[in-house]
Structures are given as C-alpha cells and as structure tokens.
Amino acid sequence: MQLDQAKQLRELESQLNAEYQAILAKKLNLDLTRGKPSSDQLDLSDALDGILKGNYIAADGTDTRNYGGLDGLPEAKKLGANIMGVEAANVLVGGSSSLTLMFQVALTAHLFGLKDAASAWKHEGDIAFLCPVPGYDRHFTICEQLGIKMINVPMTATGPDMDIVENLIKSDSKIKGIWCVPKYSNPTGVVYSNETVERIAKLGKIASPNFRVFWDNAYAVHDLIDNPPQLASILEATKKHNTEDSVIQFASTSKITQAGAGVAFVAASATNLAGFKKALSACTIGPDKVNQIRHTRFLPDRSALMAHMKKHAELLNPRFSAVLDALAKAFDGTDLGNWEKPVGGYFVSFDTRKNCAKETVRLAAEAGVKLTPAGATFPYGKDPDDRNIRIAPSVPTVPDVVAAMQVFVVCVKLASVRQDLAALG
Amino acid sequence: MQLDQAKQLRELESQLNAEYQAILAKKLNLDLTRGKPSSDQLDLSDALDGILKGNYIAADGTDTRNYGGLDGLPEAKKLGANIMGVEAANVLVGGSSSLTLMFQVALTAHLFGLKDAASAWKHEGDIAFLCPVPGYDRHFTICEQLGIKMINVPMTATGPDMDIVENLIKSDSKIKGIWCVPKYSNPTGVVYSNETVERIAKLGKIASPNFRVFWDNAYAVHDLIDNPPQLASILEATKKHNTEDSVIQFASTSKITQAGAGVAFVAASATNLAGFKKALSACTIGPDKVNQIRHTRFLPDRSALMAHMKKHAELLNPRFSAVLDALAKAFDGTDLGNWEKPVGGYFVSFDTRKNCAKETVRLAAEAGVKLTPAGATFPYGKDPDDRNIRIAPSVPTVPDVVAAMQVFVVCVKLASVRQDLAALG
C-alpha cells in the first residue's frame, strides 16, 4: 500500500513537473507582490490636479498656501471622519502617509509620552507589542526600529484570537500595544467581528497603563461588493467602556486617490490628540494643506466618496475573482491550502501546508511570477510554520492575474507533493 | 549736572510718552511676528495647481501618483541641487517641510546612528549642540524635544564667533552639532564669510566622532538685490578637508513657492544619505512625488528659479526698506540699538540696550504692534541680555510696515529712557 502511494505520488510529481516545465518555457514576467493601485485606479483621481482653479482658500478663510494648521483644515478633518466613521473633532490630518503618522504616534508614545512625559514607554524598559499574524510588514518594521519586542498572536476568521490576546495582556505588563487592521485585514482580508471589536475596546481595562491599540483602518471604505460587512465602531465601543484613550485610529486616501500623494488621518481621544500634537509641533509647522483642500473639493461628502470607491471596486473585482476562482478550482476539498474569501481590501492570503510557503514562492519566482517573500507577513520576517503567502492582484491586468494564478497553483501542488515524497524517504 | 541730566531725561520721557499715548489712541492692529510670505508672494506660484495637465509621469517613467521613491524623483533632486548649489546625487527629496527633515535627521543621528547603530548619539549620554544666537526658535525646539543640551555662541557680522566655536568643540567631546543658517541668517540676516565657511568645514577634524553641522540654507536664493553676496560652498570646503560626513544641508521651496506645500531637501554625503534613508524607510514608503513633479515643471532650471525669486524680491524690497529706513533715521549715531542691514532673507534683527527688549515688545504690544516675543531667538526662550528683537516685515503692506516701525521706534526710545531714569533713582 505504501509502495502504491509512493508510485502515485511520483506519477503526480512527474505530471506537475511537466506542467511546470511548460510554464518555464513561456518565460513569464508577472508580479503579485505589492498592494498598490493600478494605473487605471490612479486615473480615477487625475482631476485632483487643477481642481482648485486658483481658489486656495479653505471654508474657514485659511489660505492653504501658507504655513500653519498643525492638525489640518476643518473640511479635511470631515473627510477623515467620513472615511473612518468618527467625529471630525477627533481627527488630526497629517501629510500624505498614514504609515508616517503611525511611526510618529509610536515614537511619541515611546519617547515623549502621549499623556505626559511620565507616560513614555521608554521608562518601562523592554516593552512589547502584540502582532496578529499574518500581518503587515511595515507595522512590524516600526516596532523593530523602535526596539519594541513583537509577540505573535494568531489571526482567525473573526480577527485576532482574543482569548490569547487577553491572556497575554493580563500576564505581561510590558505589553503596550497591538497592531490591528480591522477591516479587510492585511493580508487575510478578514473583517473583525462585533465581538472582537467589543473585546478590543475592553483591553484598556485589563492592560497596564499607557497601552494603545493601533487601529489601522487602511481599507475602511475599500469594499468590493454592494452590501459589504459592517465593521463595528471601535470609538463607540471605547466610549461605552470608558477606554477612549486606549485606541488610536489611522486611515488615508492612499488607496482612494493617489497612493503616494494622498492625505493621512489620525482619529483619537482629546488626550491622545493633545499629546501627539505637542510632539508633532517640534517637527513640523504643519502638513500640506493645499493637498488637503484638493482632496476635499474632489471628495466633498460621504456619497461622493462611496461613488468613487465603487469605481475602484469595478476595477479590482475581476482581479480578485481571478484569484479566488483559481484557488477554489484547484484547492476546494483538498488539504493543500486554506484561505479566506475577502470582499474588500488589497490581498488574498493563502496558507500552504506546513513548510511549503518558501518553496512555493521559490518555484513561482523561477517560473517568472514574483510573490511577496514568504515570511514577510510575520515579525522579523519569520513565519514559524512557513505557510503564509500574500497574494496582491491589484496591479496586473486580469489576464495576467489568471496566468499568474495558474503558475501559483502548480507551484503549491508541486511543493506539496515533493514534501510528501520527501517524507516517504 | 546730574540734576540737569535727570531733568532732560524726564522731559524726553514725557515727550516720548505723549507720542506713545497718541499711538495708543489710534488703536492699531499690526503684526511683525512671523517670517512667512505675503499673499502677493504666494500668488506668484498659483500656476502650480493644474500645471500637470494630466501628465503625472516623471522623466524616468515613474508614475508619480503611486507609492515608492524614498529619496525623490531625479528631476526634483536637480531642483534641490539648483537651490543649494550641490550635485543632484547628494540630494534627498522629502515631503513639504525642511524642518521635518531636520528633526528626522537629528532623531536618526540620536537614536539610530547616521553611520551605524554604534554611532548613535544616545550612547554618549547627555550630548550638546552649539547654538549661534540669536537664532531660529524651531531649531532650538528640536534640541529641546530630543533632550539635547544647547550652548549659546554669539553671532557676529561674519557668522558665529568661530574662536568660541572651535574652543568649545575642542574642550567638550559631548558637543555633537551646531545649527547654522549660513545665508541671511535667521534673524540677523548675516551671510557667513568665506573664512567662516572654511572654518566650519574644518570642525569635523577637531570635533568628537559623529559631530554634524546642521546647515539650514533656508534663504539660499532669497536675495533682495541684484548682485547679492555669495555664500562659499560648504560642500567644496568639506571635500577639500575630507570632512564631507560632518555637514548636512537643508533647504526647501517653502519661501519660493507655497510656504505650507513646498518641497524640502537634504544634501549630504553618501554615508549620511544611506544612514538617513535606512531610518526613513521605517516611517514612510516615500514622499509626495506629485508635488515634486509640479515643482519641477514650474521651476525647470536655475534661470527659471532665479527669475521667480526676482519677483519675490520686488515684493519684499519696499518692506525691508521701510524697516531699515526707520531704524537708520531713528538710531544711526545713537547708542540705543544695533542692527545688521540684510540684503536677503526674511528678518531684520534689532538689539536694544541691555534689558530693554522685553519692555520694548510689551510697549509695542499694548500699542497694537505684535512683535515676536523677546527671548524667542534664544535657546529655552532666554536672552541673557534681554536685547534681541526679531522684526519680520514680509506679511504686512508697506504702509503698515511704516506705521509699525514708527511705533517700534518710539517704544525702543521709551524703554531706553525709562531705564536711564530708573538708573538715576
């Protein structure tokens, strides 16, 4: 029986290898690595340049061309509020990058204190952040840069495993934060359930002082379908539990208008905003308000915003379908991989069998299909199970996504069957 | 004789006080506080919005709308090089604020090291910066925020007193930097002499390791006259002395195009740029390249830049003349004050007699003329002699500058004569 199995595996490997060799001969050059908008998506916002028609004055009379306005224009705060579903009074508008705002908030909390100088994390020695995995590599880089230890927490279909999160926080007073991408999580595409949001809002009650949830709502309005899942309001939940200071929200228009030239936002309690503004005032006179007013003229209200996002969805949808159809056709009912079926965001996350991710990525690269390096979705670039691969289909054309996924499927199968063969000896 | 003098002083005081009371009755509301461009100056760059006409592609094919390009577009580096008089290869292009770049470079040198982790200033305990005074308050704020001690060094008509600078640096290994505004220094308007530039370039030879000159060339092309003084090239001087790593230059278009929405630049050695980029990559994917390309289309070469700056000079010149004429008329040949006669930049700096600056600013404020708080041009806001007042005439209209200077003159005289009277007892 084992001999039969080995024979079958060898036959399968040989057949897959033939398919793989045929792919190699095509000399493909395809790229599923970075989560950035395609040119077609960027074209949707080309009206930004020239939209001011000589009128650089904000609604409150501010001359946007001059210095000042550390926390942004009132109408830009409203735009941020529309995206994040919060009050404009809780919003600070930054430059073009929410990542920079996250770094600056983390730096402020670490060195200067968000509440006061005594609240700075640096006074507590080696502190740590919880990192739901797989997650966003640039979040992890911020921790690494600031010398903050990272502790992995598994993601589930409803968000981070909250039993583990709560237990870790209760048992370790050095834990000062957690990274969250609550809607269309990077990379799994999961939307945090109402219960998860509620439990995260309560972490401020069990955590040590100065604990902060970094709530990176990067895909808040980035739905692919008409009746998308609703993310519960973390702000309302923290108000209910009197933990408003424990959560800081981030968003930007990077994947709404121009990826490199959008407007970024922080939403937080009055205490957090005051502490952040104090630190911010040492390093800037104020953000680019001309770009803010361009954006508010382009997206004047929530309905303009949602209509604009629908155009993105029309471009992204066939690409996501190409990925999900290929995965379903190849792996439904098999034990070769697991994945979520996101209805928004920028990624599909695929878990191979244990110890097959690196080999799959290597095989794909040799066949001309670039994938994000295996491990990149984990702190320090180390996926302990070597399983997770992030697929980013937004940039290539639909036929290219289809072609790339054909390669991906063959590579997953080949890595798996070769692993089986190796196990047989 | 002393009685006669006292009588004369009392008469003078009474006459000045009458003038002052007449001013009070006018209920003025004038402002000479901040060094920012006027609306007329900002109008000069209104063509920036709409200049792209749908073409967002840089010369090298980069789609400026998308992510990436940590150190900026090649043509934007060239713009920075044109402003600073350096090679484009030595330039990194940031967001809209050179102040932010200065903070980020200082933070990098302090926490992470510009050369390597071991070179970080934090390993050397309490470090210090030399601060030529009077100077720019926001430079001092960066030091204060990072916990860097500040040591005052007097400014002269040729730049910082270099004997004092060199002696301090030789005797104190904790000194890791010096702030310099080498052309039209903020606020004295002095242009560093060739000898000063040469001696600053040699500081890297006598300073302790990881010493850095922060060369804030904010007014590099901001001349008011046709044949302006030439600032010697610090880059050439450091090349000659093999101290290229010891100087980091900064500039921006804030006072060339739009004060809050310009493009900022760092120029530095390959080693410094590499260290800075490494740290920068933890907090941003890249700066706003769309704004960069707007600027390069608007100011395509050095001659376009200089023609544009001439228009600024035409607007600024009458304002500076109003200040300098008023000071000359009132104080030439007296011992009531000293000032430089800047031919560029944004400020005139006036030194009253000892212990008269605060009182002058107070009197002016009561009479409806806002001046920058006395002391603001010194570290920790403390002018030990209470002498320096920064006058910023760019924003008010010419008649308003004239009116404000009439008040200023009376306030200086009144503060001085009252001090004389108090000394007489």
State how far the Cα of A41 lies from the Cα of A53, in Å rounded to an integer. 24
Nearest CB among A66, A104, A138 relative to B42 is that of: A66
Contact A66 B37 (CB under 8 A): yes
Cross-chain Cβ contact B290/A100 below 8 Å: no
Does residue B41 belong to the interface with chain A, where contact is any CB pair within 8 Å? Answer: no
pLDDT tens-digit readout, B119-176: 999 999 999 999 999 999 999 999 999 999 999 999 999 999 999 999 999 999 999 9
Which residue among B34, B49, B290 sits closest to A258, beta carbon to beta carbon? B290
The amino acid occupying position B243 is T
- Three-state SS at B293: helix
Q: Which of the 8 DSSP states describes residue B110?
A: I
DSSP letter, residue B353:
S
Tokens 């195009």, residue located: B257
Spatial neighbors of B329 by CB under 8 A, at least 6 apart, are: none
Question: In this structure, what token pair is assigned to residue B352?
Answer: 């009253």
Task: Give Cβ neighbours of residue A58 (< 8 Å, ≥ 6 apart).
Answer: A64, A73, A74, A75, A289, A293
Which residues of chain B have a CB within 8 Å of the CB of A64? 260-261
Please answer whether residues A10 and A421 qualify as being in contact, where contact means their C-beta atoms are separated by less than 8 angstroms. yes
Confidence of residue B2 (pLDDT cuts 50, 70, 90): low
Range B106-116 average pLDDT: 97
Distance of CA B304 to the CA centre of its chain: 24
Return the number of other C-beta atoms located less than 10 Å from residue A257's C-beta: 26
H or E segment at A370? Answer: strand A369-370
Q: Is B422 exposed, middle or buried (0-12, 13-18, 19+ CB in 10 A)?
A: exposed
B283: which DSSP letter? T
Rounded to 5°, the CA angle A66-A72-A73 comes to: 80
Determine how many CB atoms are found less than 10 A away from the CB of residue A221: 22
Enumerate the β-bridge partners of residue B156.
Answer: B159
Model pLDDT for residues B297-318, shown as the tens digit of each residue: 999 999 999 999 999 999 999 9
Helix, strand counts (H, E) of chain A: 14, 13
Show the CA angle centred on residue A414, arms to residues A413 and A419, nearest 5°.
100
**Can you give A155-178 as a three-state secondary structure string?**
EEECEECHHHHHHHHHHCCCEEEE
ipTM score of the complex?
A: 0.96
Query: What is the tens place of the pLDDT at every residue in A404-416?
Result: 999 999 999 999 9
Residue A1 scores a pLDDT above 70: no
Element (DSSP H or E) covering residue A316: helix A302-331
Q: Which one of A42, A64, A66 would you mutate to disrupt binding with B, by most B Cβ within 10 Å of its Cβ?
A: A66
Nearest to B290 among A100, A103, A260 (CB): A260
Mean pLDDT of B99-122: 97
Q: How many CB atoms lie within 10 A of CB A352?
A: 26
DSSP summary character for residue A351: E
- Residues on chain B touching A291 (C-beta within 8 angstroms): 261, 288, 291
Whether B259 sits inside 8 A of A34 (CB atoms) is: no
Beta bridge partners of B128: B149, B175
Q: Which pLDDT score, from 0 to 100, does residue B425 have?
A: 75
Q: What are phi and psi of A375, to 5 degrees?
A: 100, -25
CA A185/CA A33 separation, integer angstroms: 16
Q: What pLDDT is attached to residue A425?
A: 75
CB B390 within 8 A of CB B347: yes
**Chain segment A351-382, per-residue pLDDT in tens:** 999 999 999 999 999 999 999 999 999 999 99
**Measured between alpha carbons, how far is B373 from B86 in angstroms, rounded to an integer?**
36
State whether A64 and B284 contact (CB < 8 Å).
Answer: no
What does pTM read for this prediction?
0.97
Give the DSSP letter string of A223-259.
BSSSSPPPPP-HHHHHHHHT-GGGEEEEEESTTTS-T
* Res. A232: pLDDT tops 70: yes
With cut-offs at 50, 70 and 90, classify the pLDDT of residue A258.
very high
User: Is the CB of residue B94 less than 8 Å away from at least one CB of chain A?
Assistant: no
Three-state secondary structure call for residue A95? coil
Buried b (16+ CB within 10 A) or exposed e, B311-348: ebbebbeebbebbbebbeebbeeeebbebbebbbbbbb
Select from B42, B50, B68 the Cβ nearest to the Cβ of A49. Answer: B50
> Is A56 in CB contact (< 8 Å) with chain B?
yes
Contacts of B250 (CB under 8 A, 6+ apart): B98, B101, B102, B105, B214, B215, B216, B217, B218, B264, B265, B266, B267
pLDDT band at B241 (very low <50, low <70, confident <90, very high): very high
